[in-house]
Amino acid sequence: MKIISFFLSLALLLTSCQGSENQAEKSRKKDAQESLDELSKSIEEMVEGKGNKTLHYAELQDLLPKKLNRYQRTDLEGNTSGILGVRISTAQAVYEKGDSEVEISIVDAGSFGVIMSMADWVEAEFDESNRDGFKRTTTFEGYKCFEQFSKKGNSEMAIIVGNRFLVAASGRVDDFDDMRDMVSDMKLKRLERMGVVEID
């Protein structure tokens, strides 16, 4: 769905640039075309099975230890699957502490990461807050990050690591720093290095 939305957005942008164009419109059209060309090339390579190496899910599970920031792991899952040359590996774990429960996922999309990184929040900047919590984009240990804290419902974190891995956390926490500390304990720099080694 995100891929389709991206193509539709590009199509609308290119259409809006037809006819009378000032310099800014020409620049926007050029940027949109370059993005479309890059995306098309990535999809073509994936369909041909090129450059889409991914780590096995068991390697990702090594980054989900039995304990994270005093939270105990209660469930662990993973899978590696592929279709038309596109392979994706996912590792998931559930952690509990008292009444709090957090699910953490790591997704390795290999070359597919260029599309994954087009999540609308990656290029956006916003910072909102109210009496229930906050929603914002920020950086976390050097990586672009989306954070949403809710005192009454689920809180979330999502991080793009090395333009390849998606690390996501979701659950109910009394203090958002608990979730941040859990993700920090996963050692994201190690995850990025694992991806570099695999590509080499």
Check residue 198 and give its pLDDT: 54
Tell whether the model's pLDDT for residue 197 goes beyond 50: yes
CA–CA gap between residue 69 and residue 91 (Å, rounded): 19
Of 14-28, 84-98, 139-153, 171-185, which gets the smallest average pLDDT? 14-28
Residue 14's pLDDT band (cuts 50, 70, 90): very low
Check residue 6 and give its pLDDT: 44
Check residue 62 and give its pLDDT: 92
Tell whether the model's pLDDT for residue 134 goes beyond 70: yes
Summarize the confidence of residues 161-165 as an average pLDDT: 87
Residue 85's pLDDT band (cuts 50, 70, 90): low
Q: In what helix (H) or strand (E) does residue 175 lie, and over which residues does it extend?
A: none
pTM (two decimals): 0.71
DSSP 8-state class, residue 66: S
CA–CA gap between residue 198 and residue 88 (Å, rounded): 14
Check residue 53 and give its pLDDT: 77
Of 118-132, 134-148, 176-190, which gets the smallest average pLDDT? 118-132
CA–CA gap between residue 182 and residue 171 (Å, rounded): 12
Measured between alpha carbons, how far is residue 68 from residues 56, 96, 107, 179, 181 in Å? 22, 10, 18, 9, 8
Summarize the confidence of residues 131-151 as an average pLDDT: 94
Tell whether the model's pLDDT for residue 13 goes beyond 60: no
Q: Which residue has the higher pLDDT, 197 or 83?
A: 83
Tell whether the model's pLDDT for residue 100 goes beyond 70: yes
CA–CA gap between residue 156 and residue 179 (Å, rounded): 8
Of 27-31, 158-162, 182-186, 190-194, which gets the smallest average pLDDT? 27-31
